[in-house]
Structure 1
Amino acid sequence: DASWPTFQQVIDSAPGEQEEKLPLLPKRDRIIIMSSGTSGTPKGVSIQDPLIPTPLVTLVTKVPWRKHMMVQMSASMFHAWGWGNINLIIAHRATVVLRRVFDPKQAMEDLVNYQVEGIISSPIFLKEQLRVAVEGDYDVSNVKMIFSSGHAISPELIDGIHEKFGPILANYYGSTEASSCVIATGEDLAKDPAVSGRPVAGVRIKILDEDGKELPPGQVGRIFCRGRLTMKEYTNDRDKMVIEKGLLEIGDKGYLTEDGRLYVLGRNDDMIIVGGENVYPKSVSEALEPMPGIRDLFVKGVEDEETFARLAVWIVREDDEAGRSLTKKGVQDWVRDKLAEHSVPRDVVFVDELPYNPTGKVMPRQLPDSRIHGEP
């Protein structure tokens, strides 16, 4: 908007000489960032202000950041993912294209009009933007990087982005509390869309069992991480961290390979036991992603008085013939054809939309009860 002043105009309009000099180093030794609050009220996370930003070395060497580039950002700036990238944008003297409310069609028009070279976003927004990009006639040849985080990204979405934009998608995995953990480059994801990545510079990752014992490569356990940007403490003393062997628990389950690649299977509290078998909702979600007629979905285990746990899926239909013809049996048969019987969702709920928070994560507490609203 031409009516808004530029930073330079604001500086030039300041009266008199600016004699006060900024300190070489910040006077405060920490940064406070709010967690996303998917499992409850957002927590204040206190992070030590790093004198040597080692994790940034990986981000700028693995992802093709360049000075003065044009960047489109739909990541929320008041959470860790957006805040960290704003710092990178400033450091590269880049120009950032922002909108107060994300609209995929507007995002694609901005991408063309401003000749965007880099996209910083999260999977929920990328999925919608890709849909518009595929349906329309947009020139995306200027885009050199797409950087995603904030939520698990499906192999289906990765393949779609690579088909439209080329193998330029990089995915970052971490949390507000742990900050940078691993990164998967476009080359990594082109070889294996299921990989979460390799540790960023200065970060240690271990997989531990329920007793805190380190597990060998290939065995699934709790993911622990520590780096220079790992949290110092919560601002509220009642919120507790889980520390083992000097590392902070992320809250996810996964495993490491012999060569140090991390695979994330889902949240610790997401895994449910159905018929004596472990079921990870992420695997069911990935199986359903390619099903015609599904625009968006969320899979979760819910409590059941008879079987202790049951799998439920909430689905947003596409506004087309495939979407209108979706049925509970059709969804179950699709999963049954791709996964074992214990992974077939017992509840199927069709909804108009899923409740997302500003970081692009579904808020499970706001979903309708699958036992009441599920298809008969």
Structure 2
Amino acid sequence: MELARSAHLDTFARDHLPPPGQWPRLVFDLPELRYPDRLNCGAELLDRTVERFGADRPVFRDGAGAVWTYGELRDRVDRIAHTLGDLGVVPGNRVLLRGPTTPWLAACWLAVMKAGAVAVTVLAQARAGELSVMCEMARVSHALCDSRVVGELVKARVPGLRVTEYGGDAPGDLLRLAARPPGRRARFEAVDTAADDVALIAFTSGTTGRPKGCAHFHRDVLAVADTFSAHVLRPRPDDLFAGSPPLGFTFGLGGLLIFPMRAGASALLLEQAGPRQLLPAVAEHRVSVLFTAPTAYRLMLADVGAHDTGSLRRCVSAGENLPAATWQAWYERTGLRLINGIGATELLHIFVSAADEAIRPGTTGLPVPGWQARVVDASGHPVPDGQEGLLAVRGPVGCRYLSDPRQSEYVRDGWNITGDTYVREPDGHLRHVARADDMIISAGYNIAGPQVEDALLEHPDVLEAAVVGHPDEVRGRIVVAYAVLRAGVPRDGATEEALRAFVTSRLAPYKCPRRFVFLDELPRTATGKLQRFRLRAP
């Protein structure tokens, strides 16, 4: 596939895409997906939306009650984009974005888009070791980081990384730099990027624990809005979006920034957005569109009657399988039909889903308009309805790993193989069976067991470690660590707490085991291979 002329001066991202022969076949069946060759998604989401709906519409709110209009957002984004140039950012540079979910983080992301750079948005929870690996893989040169969480980024000691804090009191704070000189109120003309210039690199973890960088184009950002959001979610300009996924997850990037802005709507950006915070926020701010994981919906069931949820009209569930019982209980207590969906970082957002009368509880749904899906065997051949197989999808967005041999594992015969086992029902609905690999999905988070094992094995008291997922009524699955300890180390609660603290100091807290089991030895085959299936057994 021949790419359009790039606007990037730093061509690292395009240079490290997989060979065209390893790409999935892209599908642009819908007329709205036939984008022009030159396209900047930041300008489309912000500048074009202002032209269509006016500058006075609200775009972002925060938990403290502050409201930003589209016009105010454009002014702040343009100031930041000018400042990026002052900091030495050129089109194509990778810029790490790190901080809690706030309007300022969203403004930084949009500024990076308009400046023609490549956003690498990571979780505020990410630890120094994780940050170091991602920065090295993406050759990140600059970072914009909320001043409250800059410590781990400094500890990462990334060679040559220029870190600019925002939201603090330092003279070099990004927001102070962007506030002057007064002449910087002038508009920033978005860089004339190609539709297939890389706009963002989103990191996911495989079963080996080694993260994979997923490169997505400017047109991809709009494509997920013009498929799932436009055809399934169907937002309105007066909608207020909210949800738990942070902007560091593509689930949150779509649900809290791309989708509302594409529709001229607004979003409530909450720094704390767990199940205990969501229902009060819905009631206080009159949220109409909610994004979160099945675990959160299950946890909110107990309190949903104590809060006014009358403003809600759309509730989206993704990140893990949605049990039919959870769907039914939510419907009985709220009268709202949960919109289930499956997405992937590799494909940016949701590609199988259903809404309204098309919903079949217990299934994920149908291929989203603009996408194709089928269930195949290990050789890539479609299997009959009712038979288990691997989910294969293709559409306007495809998996493009950054310099990673695992590209050929995910993309086969032009299809994206998601790593999920599915069944296609006779009516065409797709039903989730299980993950096909060792990824643990807990409360909507993807956790690679081997990565947690590696962290545990750094502790001097741990001789062997194996990490698997166990079923849990609340979280779907929980992380359970099996460990063989050094002789003389007590197998008690104090050791468990010490190991938990040790892992949390190295990995994001959500990856930390919730249970520890101490064994004399791990189950292995005669050749020494770990028998994980025995650890997963009840």
Give the partner amino acid of 1:366.
P
Partner of 1:313: none
Partner of 2:390: 222
DSSP-derived class of the 1:173 partner? strand
Task: Kindly indicate whether residue 262 of structure 2 is the aligned counterpart of residue 115 of structure 1.
Answer: no
State the shift of 1:120 in Å. 1.4
Give the partner amino acid of 2:393.
C
Task: Kindly indicate whether residue 360 of structure 2 is the aligned counterpart of residue 195 of structure 1.
Answer: no
Partner of 2:275: 104
Task: Kindly indicate whether residue 79 of structure 2 is the aligned counterpart of residue 79 of structure 1.
Answer: no
Relative to structure 1, the CA distance from residue 371 to residue 199 in structure 2 (aligned partners, 3 Å threshold; closer, same or farther) is: farther
1:186-265 maps to which residues of 2 (within 5 A)?
A: 186-189=356-359, 192-231=360-399, 233-242=400-409, 243-265=411-433
State the shift of 1:25 in Å. 5.2
Partner of 1:184: 354
The answer as to whether partners of 2:244 and 2:274 remain within 8 angstroms in 1 is no
Q: Deviations over 1:61-85 (max 9, x none)?
A: 3224110312222122112111122
Give the partner amino acid of 1:208.
V
Task: Extract unaligned runs of 5+ from structure 2.
Answer: 1-63, 77-178, 440-467, 483-499, 521-534
Relative to structure 1, the CA distance from residue 220 to residue 70 in structure 2 (aligned partners, 3 Å threshold; closer, same or farther) is: same
Q: Give the Cα separation in 2 of the matches to 1:23 and 1:105.
A: 42
Relative to structure 1, the CA distance from residue 33 to residue 185 in structure 2 (aligned partners, 3 Å threshold; closer, same or farther) is: farther
Q: Give the Cα separation in 1 of the matches to 2:374 and 2:480.
A: 26
DSSP-derived class of the 1:53 partner? helix
Partner of 2:513: 366
DSSP-derived class of the 2:370 partner? coil
Give the partner amino acid of 1:56.
D
Q: Deviations over 1:148-200 (max 9, x none)?
A: 211111122111211122133211212111343211224344xx321111001
Q: Give the Cα separation in 2 of the matches to 1:302 and 1:141.
A: 42
Partner of 1:49: 218
Partner of 1:298: 477
Relative to structure 1, the CA distance from residue 241 to residue 149 in structure 2 (aligned partners, 3 Å threshold; closer, same or farther) is: farther
Q: Give the Cα separation in 2 of the matches to 1:115 and 1:269.
A: 40
Partner of 1:67: 237
Q: Give the Cα separation in 2 of the matches to 1:249 and 1:361.
A: 29
Give the partner amino acid of 1:69.
D
Partner of 1:276: none
State the shift of 1:302 in Å. 10
Q: Give the Cα separation in 2 of the matches to 1:3 and 1:59.
A: 26
Partner of 2:322: 153
Q: Deviations over 1:275-303 (max 9, x none)?
A: xxxxxx99x95xx74xxxxx445279999
The answer as to whether partners of 2:202 and 2:214 remain within 8 angstroms in 1 is yes
Deviates more, 1:55-64 or 1:256-265: 55-64
Relative to structure 1, the CA distance from residue 41 to residue 166 in structure 2 (aligned partners, 3 Å threshold; closer, same or farther) is: farther
The answer as to whether partners of 1:217 and 1:258 remain within 8 angstroms in 2 is yes
Relative to structure 1, the CA distance from residue 164 to residue 45 in structure 2 (aligned partners, 3 Å threshold; closer, same or farther) is: same
Q: Deviations over 1:14-39 (max 9, x none)?
A: 72362542256557612334244373
Give the partner amino acid of 1:122.
A
Larger radius of gyration: 2
Q: Give the Cα separation in 2 of the matches to 1:227 and 1:157.
A: 30
DSSP-derived class of the 2:211 partner? coil
The answer as to whether partners of 1:167 and 1:186 remain within 8 angstroms in 2 is no
Q: Give the Cα separation in 2 of the matches to 1:182 and 1:297.
A: 20
Partner of 2:139: none
Relative to structure 1, the CA distance from residue 297 to residue 121 in structure 2 (aligned partners, 3 Å threshold; closer, same or farther) is: closer
Give the partner amino acid of 2:252.
G
Partner of 1:130: 301
TM-score, normalising length from structure 1? 0.67
1:333-352 maps to which residues of 2 (within 5 A)?
A: none
Q: Give the Cα separation in 1 of the matches to 2:260 and 2:225.
A: 15
The answer as to whether partners of 1:38 and 1:361 remain within 8 angstroms in 2 is no
How many percent identity over aligned positions? 20
CA RMSD in angstroms, aligned pairs only: 3.8
Partner of 2:161: none
Relative to structure 1, the CA distance from residue 245 to residue 171 in structure 2 (aligned partners, 3 Å threshold; closer, same or farther) is: same
Relative to structure 1, the CA distance from residue 150 to residue 103 in structure 2 (aligned partners, 3 Å threshold; closer, same or farther) is: closer
Q: Deviations over 1:184-219 (max 9, x none)?
A: 224344xx3211110012212222212332212221
Q: Give the Cα separation in 1 of the matches to 2:481 and 2:378.
A: 22
- Structure 1 or 2: larger helix share? 2
The answer as to whether partners of 1:33 and 1:80 remain within 8 angstroms in 2 is no
Relative to structure 1, the CA distance from residue 59 to residue 207 in structure 2 (aligned partners, 3 Å threshold; closer, same or farther) is: same
Deviates more, 1:2-11 or 1:178-187: 2-11
The answer as to whether partners of 2:243 and 2:273 remain within 8 angstroms in 1 is no
Q: Give the Cα separation in 1 of the matches to 2:65 and 2:370.
A: 43
DSSP-derived class of the 1:237 partner? coil
Task: Extract unaligned runs of 5+ from structure 1.
Answer: 272-280, 290-294, 304-351
Q: Give the Cα separation in 2 of the matches to 1:157 and 1:71.
A: 22
State the shift of 1:255 in Å. 1.7
Q: Give the Cα separation in 1 of the matches to 2:390 and 2:200.
A: 26
Task: Kindly indicate whether residue 265 of structure 2 is the aligned counterpart of residue 94 of structure 1.
Answer: yes
Q: Give the Cα separation in 1 of the matches to 2:509 and 2:398.
A: 21
Q: Give the Cα separation in 1 of the matches to 2:230 and 2:67.
A: 31
DSSP-derived class of the 1:43 partner? strand
